[in-house]
Structure 1
Amino acid sequence: MKHSLIHIPYLPGCPIHFMINDYNSEEFQQHLGLEIIWLLQGKLKVMVGQNDYYLHENDLLLINHFESHQVVPQVLDAHFIQLHIDSLFIYKYNHDFYSLLYDLKSFKNSEDNQNPYDVIRILFSQLITRKYKHNTEIHSDVLRLLGYLTSRFSKRLSLTEPENPVSNKDSNIVQQMLNRVEQDFKGKLTLNEIALEQHYNPSYLSDQFRKNVGVTFKAYLEEIRIRYSLFLLQHQEASISNIALASGFSDEKSDKKQIFVNSLTIT
């Protein structure tokens, strides 16, 4: 089944995208950011790590940042929407994001205790149906949703203070790196280039990025490029080679192969 993006496709600077009935029963996936699944009709099995969750009509489930998961419909007429919120956007407004664990499973509560989840459904619906004219309007509504999610459904990964807490200086450095990726991922961007410009040791920047974001700089950069290539594959008539180049990948066969393999997840 081929999914379709609605209203807001993924583009640099846009914090969200939607997918309808998007699943691949053959492999697990990971995403940079938060993903909320809303089942509108039918039955759905979602495997998250070692846990299996069975969703029924109107159920909500949140997938955490970089959490391995697999979506498998249990009936032919299953209809569901996935909302993905980019980690880069979340981190800009909440530097604690990578130390938080979100727990949103509406099916764990009775029908009489759905009020907090109804708020999520309302905010979710507004993002789908509202006709946005400016990015600032999108950002405002997404921040409302994130604010409620964080206040109502999140907790810190550790109740104790870390031995080596991240300083404001380190946090600002990582934010600059994230901004640079967003602006220049289409070019031949490297960690060494950023280190030279910022007058830092590449190893130091690499350690700080991994500590704050949870993945390596290279993995994050490749994920952004892959997601942008998927957008181009859906919306432009171009060869895999040209899409790879437009997304910031070199013309090496290994990079082309990676783009092609990842593009299979949208068919």
Structure 2
Amino acid sequence: MKFFYQDWHFDSELPMKIFSQNDISFHAHCHPEVELIYVESGSLIIGVNEEKRRVSQGNLVVCGSNDIHYFENDGSDSKVIVLIFKPELLGGLRIWPDEFQFTSPYVTSNIETEHVSKLMYSILQENNKKSLNGFAMITKGLLLQLCGMLQRYIPSLPQDKEPLEQRARMQKILSYIEENCCTEITLESIARHFNMDPHHFSRTFKSTLGINFKTYLNTVRISLAEIKLESTEASITDIALECGFSSIRTFNRVYKSLRGRTPSKLRKS
């Protein structure tokens, strides 16, 4: 995903990021980096590939390389620790997991997550000691231990190639939507682009992402519009048209339905 994930600014010596965030919400996306989400408090809905669950305090979600995942905030308070890192930190791997897959990305057992949460907190604390000698080595050691614990205690099975192929196609679809979201895209045109029957495309898209194609397209457009609203002085009308909406009226209606407020309030906040 380009305008959301190109600017992580990973350190060349230690390509990872860890941060704590309240009430996270983000539309479906994927990237080669591994992403671990630990719920510190409250609850939220997280979708990973074809699964979608409410996760609560003490739960962990493991998003492996190129897993399609998203966060939904339905008004519940939540606080999560998010750890994102390049698989190469685990010994030159291109993806992780590589030769196996976890039976589920959702880890809810207190026994399993107790050790993992301690390591997540340790990495988060170490992240504040970047100026100290040995920071990168200690952090990498904690990360290796964390992934080793996940591989040891979370049930897994051999990698199934068929879901990977299906996921790869969906990744291409998501990239296509992002690259062309400002142009006119219809269900029929994108299905034709990927040589799929429109009805099959619609069913596959919704079963994977939890929302229909039109809602997802509007979500991407709104997310891009919000970036422009906060970072440019362009008028709301110009931004609406630049982001693929046919009129300011349509933009206002869609924005309010997805965000619960008008775009003008974002610019005033």
**Aligned counterparts, 1:177-192, within 5 A:** 177-192=173-188
Q: CA 1:68/1:117 → structure 2, altered by over 3 Å: closer, same or farther?
A: same
> Residues 185 and 248 of structure 1 are in contact (CA less than 8 Å); yes or no, is this contact kept in structure 2?
yes
Shift of 1:246: 1.7
CA distance in 2, matches of 1:104, 1:67: 22
Q: Where does residue 115 of structure 1 map in the other structure? A: 119
CA distance in 2, matches of 1:46, 1:252: 36
Q: Where does residue 253 of structure 1 map in the other structure? A: 249
SS of 1:32's equivalent? strand
TM-score, length-scaled by structure 1: 0.51
Q: Where does residue 6 of structure 2 map in the other structure? A: 14
Q: Where does residue 51 of structure 2 map in the other structure? A: none
**2:238 is the alignment partner of 1:242:** yes
* Number of residues of Structure 1 aligned to a counterpart in Structure 2: 206
> Residues 225 and 247 of structure 1 are in contact (CA less than 8 Å); yes or no, is this contact kept in structure 2?
yes
Task: Name which of 6, 24, 27 aligns with 1:32.
Answer: 27
Q: Where does residue 221 of structure 1 map in the other structure? A: 217
Q: Where does residue 192 of structure 2 map in the other structure? A: 196
> Residues 25 and 72 of structure 2 are in contact (CA less than 8 Å); yes or no, is this contact kept in structure 1?
yes
**Aligned counterparts, 1:94-243, within 5 A:** 100-101=105-106, 114-122=118-126, 167-243=163-239
Q: Where does residue 66 of structure 1 map in the other structure? A: 71
Q: Where does residue 90 of structure 2 map in the other structure? A: none
RMSD of the TM alignment (CA)? Answer: 5.4
> Residues 29 and 69 of structure 1 are in contact (CA less than 8 Å); yes or no, is this contact kept in structure 2?
no
CA distance in 1, matches of 2:228, 2:24: 20
Unpaired runs of 5+ residues, structure 1, are: 1-9, 40-44, 55-59, 74-79, 86-92, 130-144
What percent of counterpart residues are identical? 20
SS of 2:3's equivalent? coil
> Residues 39 and 56 of structure 2 are in contact (CA less than 8 Å); yes or no, is this contact kept in structure 1?
no
Corresponding letter in the other structure for 2:6: C
TM-score, length-scaled by structure 2: 0.51
